[in-house]
Amino acid sequence: MDAAPRHIGFIGLGNMGTPMVRRLLAAGHRVTVWNRTPSKAAALEAEGAGVAQTPAAVLAGSELVGICVKDGAAVEAAVFGDDGLATVPDATGKVVVDFSTIAPDEARRIGARLRQRNGAAWLDAPVSGGVPGAEQGTLICFVGGEADDLAAARPLLDVVARRVTHMGPAGAGQTTKICNQMIVAVNVLTIAETYGLARRAGVDVSQLAPALAGGFADSLPLQLFGPGMAAGVYEPVRTAVELMAKDIGIARDMAGEFGARTPVSAFCADLYRAIRNEDPEVFTGDVSGLARRYD
């Protein structure tokens, strides 16, 4: 790990982005941030971060730039919108690392177009580990892109992630993350059903996650979201149901593109669509709130 302080930019200060920036500040890096809602930058500014007025200003003043936003449309806006990264005249030698989860073809297209516009390199580097991983610097990162660009981005990546795996060329990181999300999205629905069944059968559901710990049914989502499902506590929002729905939707689109058979995740995609239509409060809330569907 290169421990020399760098000037690092960061775009997107949501549940994941804010703790990632705090990790960078704690590591001694100079950090400049931008967020679509400027008020979200106030706390980080008080902790030592600089605040840029535009995404372009973030890239212009930084060696490396991280992005962590909601979806492909938000990435597109940060890169190609008014005052976006692409408006910087020359960004040769700079590397943009996108931690967002978007479709692989979007990652390839955005990265190629940005490099053509101003020379900036692009890595798709989605992460797994949720808010706790972002807070502790223990995220798992899947990277698509050029090996030389990955090496240049290590001062950023090695602070926020405990494991970084180069999965292949552009788009490979996003493909890996979607595989990850297929497992997670199905798992959390099953966990919510499990709590509903156990509660109706008279089991002390507060003991369910501890009882299953270490067995074949155990998982990080069970230990993270199970206690909230048991207690009926669905805040704060650590991972929103709508993000699970987005990602499992990408998986279904990819299955159609490549002719892959994914009947279980396709069925779950339909369940997430039903939640969006029938329970908007659950859909926009934390994954632990899925238990409300099965009480």
pLDDT tens digit sequence for 242-289: 999 999 999 999 999 999 999 999 999 999 999 999 999 999 999 999
Q: Which of 40, 70, 94, 177 is catalytic?
A: 177
Strands (E), the chain: 7-11, 30-34, 50-51, 64-67, 95-98, 121-124, 127-128, 139-144, 161-168
What is the pLDDT at residue 2?
Answer: 58
Confidence of residue 113 (pLDDT cuts 50, 70, 90): very high
1 occurs within a structural domain: no
- Residue 177 annotated to the active site: yes
Name which of 157, 163, 114 is nearest 138 in CA terms.
163
What is the pLDDT at residue 44?
Answer: 98
Regarding whether 150 and 21 lie in a shared domain, the answer is yes
Confidence of residue 18 (pLDDT cuts 50, 70, 90): very high
pLDDT over 80 (residue 228): yes
237 occurs within a structural domain: yes
User: Mean pLDDT, to the nearest integer, of 217-229?
Assistant: 96
pLDDT over 70 (residue 1): no
pLDDT over 70 (residue 128): yes
pLDDT over 90 (residue 133): yes
Average of per-residue pLDDT values in the chain:
96
Regarding whether 133 and 236 lie in a shared domain, the answer is no
Q: Is 289 exposed, middle or buried (0-12, 13-18, 19+ CB in 10 A)?
A: buried
User: Mean pLDDT, to the nearest integer, of 110-115?
Assistant: 98
Domain count, the chain: 2
- Cβ atoms 290, 189 nearer than 8 A: yes
Regarding whether 226 and 269 lie in a shared domain, the answer is yes
User: Mean pLDDT, to the nearest integer, of 154-176?
Assistant: 98
Cis, bond preceding 236 (omega within 30 deg of 0):
yes
Find the range with the poorest average confidence among 3-7, 42-46, 66-70. 3-7
pLDDT over 80 (residue 3): no
Pairing type for strands 139-144 and 127-128 reads antiparallel
75 occurs within a structural domain: yes
Q: Which domain holds residue 201?
A: 175-293
120 occurs within a structural domain: yes
> Which residue type does 144 have?
G
Regarding whether 97 and 50 lie in a shared domain, the answer is yes
Distance, in Å, from the CA atom of 20 to the CA atom of 156, rounded to the nearest integer, reads 10
User: Mean pLDDT, to the nearest integer, of 181-210?
Assistant: 97
13 occurs within a structural domain: yes
Distance, in Å, from the CA atom of 23 to the CA atom of 18, rounded to the nearest integer, reads 9
Distance, in Å, from the CA atom of 206 to the CA atom of 33, rounded to the nearest integer, reads 40
Regarding whether 164 and 30 lie in a shared domain, the answer is yes
31 occurs within a structural domain: yes
Regarding whether 248 and 203 lie in a shared domain, the answer is yes
* Range 3-20 burial, b when 16+ CB lie within 10 A, else e: eeebebbbbbbbbbbbbb
Regarding whether 127 and 16 lie in a shared domain, the answer is yes
Beta bridge partners of 166: 143
